[in-house]
Structure 1
Amino acid sequence: MESLQTNTVVTDASLAGLKRVGFKMKLFPGKEAEYKKRHDELWPELETLLKDAGIHLYSIFLDKETGSLFGVLHIAEPTNLDALPQQAVMQRWWQYMSDIMESNPDNSPVSIPLEEVFYLP
């Protein structure tokens, strides 16, 4: 088993009152490097939009064997997540990403909610 990577240390205080949301998405084969590149160059206006919607922490993990992506959001409630699909910046990002991952007819990523089955605070 590969050793686990730890990229960020998060204190309990920074998570107080935040809700965790997990979901999975799927990349097209061979698009892993491009997906990472595009996120490394995340548009500042998209970062602002996501934070303004109530997202405090957002991580996406890649399973290289399957191309599955696992996202985890830490959100403050109430959020404005329901308004994101109507935002022009969000729609442009979805269009930009639709050539490298499974997408819906509106270009939003096919996203499947995940059930949290364990949490160690």
Structure 2
Amino acid sequence: MWKPPQSPTTPTAPSPVSADGRRQNPGRRFAQIVRLKPEFVAEYKECHAHVWPEVLKQIKDCNIKDYSIWWDDKTGILFASFKYVGYDYEGDMEKMAGNPKVREWWRMTDGYQESMVEGAVSSEAGEPSWWKPVEEVFYQA
């Protein structure tokens, strides 16, 4: 992933310290795309207007912040972005996938979508991923 250059002359404020004494991870941004099937636009918007509390809690517990999903009505593309602020991304994603309610959510929402990743089966199946990762080419804080 491309990262913006940091000037060695620009001081950076130290990140806050967590309860266990570690410095807070400043975060790594992710972005992904998938296609929304046109016949499911209303259902997709409705379920995301009322995301299940167990799913929201698991996202937070897995150190994901600033999660948003955008939709382009011309192409049907859903664009998701989020910031991961934990220390063990793979471990947190395993915890996410281990939650039965999250897997149920994925089964429901995958039915509304068409993956753009060759060979992808579902969000539950793992690799290849259902949502296609996209490369960051510019960032301004």
Please state which band the TM-score falls in when normalised by the shorter chain: 0.7 to 0.9
Aligned residue pairs, count = 107
Structure 1's consecutive aligned runs of 4 or more residues displaced over 3 angstroms after TM superposition are 103-109
Aligned-pair identity in percent equals 30
Match of 2:44 among 32, 35, 56: 35
Q: Name the amino acid aligned to 1:105.
A: V
Q: Name the amino acid aligned to 1:18.
A: G
Q: Which residue of 2 aligns with 1:44?
A: 53
1:63 matches 2:79: no
Q: Please, what is the CA RMSD of the aligned residues?
A: 2.1
1:105 matches 2:121: yes
- What's the CA shift for 1:70? 0.5
SS in 2 for 1:77: coil
* TM-score where L is the length of structure 1: 0.78
Cα deviation code 1:39-65 (max 9, x no counterpart): 111000110001000101100010101
- What's the CA shift for 1:107? 5.1
Mean Cα displacement is larger for which, 41-50 or 80-89? 80-89
1:117 matches 2:108: no
* TM-score where L is the length of structure 2: 0.68
Unaligned runs of 5+ in 1: 1-12
Contact 1:95/1:107, CA 8 A, preserved across alignment: yes
Which has more radius of gyration?
2
CA distance in 1, matches of 2:72, 2:83: 21
Mean Cα displacement is larger for which, 94-103 or 104-113? 104-113
Structure with the higher fraction of residues in strand conformation: 1
CA distance in 2, matches of 1:81, 1:110: 14
Unaligned runs of 5+ in 2: 1-14, 16-24
